[in-house]
A = this chain, B = another copy of it.
Amino acid sequence: MNYYIGIDVGGTAIKGGIINEDGQVLTNSGLATEADKGPDVVVRNIAALVDKMLSAVGIRIAETKGIGMGVPGMVNVKKGIALFAANLGFVNYPIVEKLRAYYPSTEIQLTNDANAAALGESLYGAAKDYNTGAVMVTLGTGVGGGIVIRNALFAGNRAAGAEIGHMVIRKGGEPCTCGRRGCFEAYCSATALIRDTKRAMDKHPESKLWEIGGKDFVTGQTAFDYKDSDKVAAAVVKNYLKFLSCGLANLANVFRPEVIILGGGICNQGDDLIKPLQRMLNKELFGGRLGPMVKIVVAELGNRAGFMGAASLNLESAHIL
């Protein structure tokens, strides 16, 4: 059996696992990131987590095929540098070299966390039965993305692409954290949905949405929870789905993947989200029924997608386009 270590570095926790060549998780675990103590401490914690998982499986690092790591923000894959991740304090940080100090003869691969998750879901999760291509869209604080083409990760020149959240879908629209206006993220992140729910409450003091106890309690679920009993909530959801289907149709027309994998808490809505979205997407696909359909599926691996995808970077079949 071959062993592949995967690490998913998050703002608050580092998650990790060891998988075999079939994608079976042999062990998985987590540790606090402690980003506030600086990047060298984060790397020390990564090493501690790796060691912990090695002893859980009862193997030595030399018996593994290597470590794959997904980190937030922009990365330089070739040089192994975390270029910028605001919430982790990474600025031009040579994370691979630093981790290699702990494991001098181990293969270490780096990618962006959203890309790692997309690869994990493509190989082992929601898109494992689709082999020509998948786009993963994660609706969270922002809108993250990952693109998989024939089971290889595609992230553009120096892995700086796949920033699908930063595709303008309404020029001149809502301001985005990236500095542009009208980005997909500025309409379809959980953050945007919360903003729109609060705005609707302000405009409609009569809305049942107020039952939750005030605007401070709004989450990405609130509008969905009230959509069947409150017109205001229904309008918020309808508008959200319009923008979401618009962004997904753009990705479908440009990449024409077999499948779009949706991730993030909003997906807990299940069919209430996916069914209308699929109908709307079908109508917006270029060429209508002449071309192949693009199926929307919900991410399956949850927290595991990141470390599983990262681990797979050391598979012999692994390939970054």
Chain A residues with CB under 8 Å of chain B are 74, 83-84, 132-133, 149-150, 154-164, 166-173, 178-180, 182, 242-243, 246, 249-258, 283-284, 286-288, 290-292, 294, 321
Contacts and interface: CB of A to CB of B under 8 A. Distances in A.
B158 A292 contact: yes
Nearest to A164: B254
A254 B169 contact: no
- Give the one of A156, A242, A255, A321 with max B CB within 10 A: A156
Contact of A163 (B163, B180, B246, B253): B253
A291 B158 contact: yes
A79 to B, nearest CB: 12
B157 A243 contact: no
Contact of A169 (B74, B164, B168): B168
A290 to B, nearest CB: 5
A284 B254 contact: no
B160 A154 contact: no
Contacts of A161: 252-257
Contacts of A170: 169-172, 182
B250 A286 contact: no
Interface centre among A132, A155, A290, A291 (most CB of B within 10 A): A291
25 contacts: A74-B290, A149-B149, A149-B154, A154-B154, A156-B256, A157-B257, A157-B294, A158-B256, A158-B292, A160-B286, A161-B252, A163-B254, A163-B256, A164-B254, A167-B250, A168-B246, A169-B171, A170-B182, A171-B173, A171-B242, A171-B246, A178-B286, A179-B283, A179-B284, A180-B249
A197 to B, nearest CB: 19
**Most B Cβ at <10 Å: residue of A159, A163, A249, A284:** A163
A162 B246 contact: no
A74 B290 CA distance: 8
* Those 9 A-B pairs whose CB atoms lie nearest each other, nearest first: A156-B256, A161-B256, A160-B291, A163-B253, A167-B250, A163-B286, A170-B171, A160-B256, A166-B253
Contacts of A178: 286
A250 to B, nearest CB: 4
Given A74-B287, A163-B287, 17 more contacts: A74-B290, A84-B287, A84-B290, A154-B154, A156-B256, A157-B257, A157-B294, A159-B256, A161-B252, A163-B286, A167-B253, A168-B169, A168-B250, A171-B243, A171-B246, A179-B288, A321-B321
